[in-house]
Structure 1
Amino acid sequence: MPLSVHHIVVDAHDLPSRARFWAAALRWRVLSERERDVVIGPDEAAPVGMCFMPAVGTKQTKNRLHLDLTTTAGDRDAEIDRLIALGAEEVDIGRTGKESWTVLADIEGNEFCVVRPKETLIG
């Protein structure tokens, strides 16, 4: 049987807060919450979720792995505003202003991108 992604694991200092941020951002829900980990996903039967585990140390540099999120045409700016209202911040990481994405950071400073919807990239 081939491998498949089960969880995207994210180190966090405040597991419940970080999990709630991402659950709200993705419109998922908290599936389990224990002292050593918090798991979120669209539902219990979903093939992929996110697992938040205790971080060691502090973030020093740009992420080496990040999420690219997208939405439907016309919703991108509204989604960016919604994410900022949830606690995300826009960050400037070497952008020229001509990119098809906006870089944000979550509540613990980890970067992710909101990219232009696929239908606008194809045409």
Structure 2
Amino acid sequence: MPLQLHHVVVDTHDLPSLAAFWSEVLHWPVLSEREREIVIGPSPEAPVGMCFMPVEDEKVVKNRLHLDLTTEGADRDAEIERILALGARRIDVGQTGQESWDVLADPEGNEFCVVRPKTTLIS
């Protein structure tokens, strides 16, 4: 059987807070919680989830890997405002303003994008 993606692992300074932020953003429940990790996902049977693990290192550069989120069936602007109210912030990584995405950062500075729904990108 080939390898499959299991978790996206996110290093964090504040394990419970960052896991709670992403749980709220994605509407995913906490699936497991241990001393040094919290896992969230759409369900225990889902093929992929997010795992949060504590680190002491400071984040100093732009992420080499980031998440792209989309809003199928939802109001994209309202979702961005909801995420901002949860503690995200808008960031500038060199956008021109003409992109089909908005760049945000979670409370610990990890960049992610909210992109237009696929149906909007295709047309």
Fold agreement, TM-score > 0.5: yes
Q: Output the amino acid matched with 2:107.
A: I
Q: Output the amino acid matched with 2:44.
A: E
Gaps of 5+ in 2: none
Superposition deviation, residue 72 in structure 1: 2.3
Counterpart Cα distance in 2 of 1:74 and 1:35: 35
- Residue 9 (structure 1) aligns with: 9
CA contact (8 A) 1:30 1:41 kept: yes
SS in 2 for 1:2: coil
Alignment of 1:28-43 (within 5 A): 28-43=28-43
Q: TM-score, normalised by structure 2?
A: 0.96
- Residue 93 (structure 2) aligns with: 93
Alignment of 1:1-123 (within 5 A): 1-72=1-72, 75-123=75-123
Counterpart Cα distance in 2 of 1:52 and 1:72: 26
Counterpart Cα distance in 2 of 1:17 and 1:110: 14
SS in 1 for 2:109: coil
Counterpart Cα distance in 2 of 1:91 and 1:39: 26
Q: Identity, % of aligned pairs?
A: 69
CA contact (8 A) 1:16 1:33 kept: no
Q: TM-score, normalised by structure 1?
A: 0.96
SS in 2 for 1:33: strand
Which consecutive aligned stretches of 4+ in structure 1 deviate over 2 angstroms post-superposition? none
Counterpart Cα distance in 1 of 2:111 and 2:74: 23
Question: What is the number of residues matched between the two proteins?
Answer: 123
Superposition deviation, residue 2 in structure 1: 1.0
Residues 1-40 of structure 1: per-residue CA shift (max 9 Å, x gap): 0111111001001111100100110010111111110000
Gaps of 5+ in 1: none
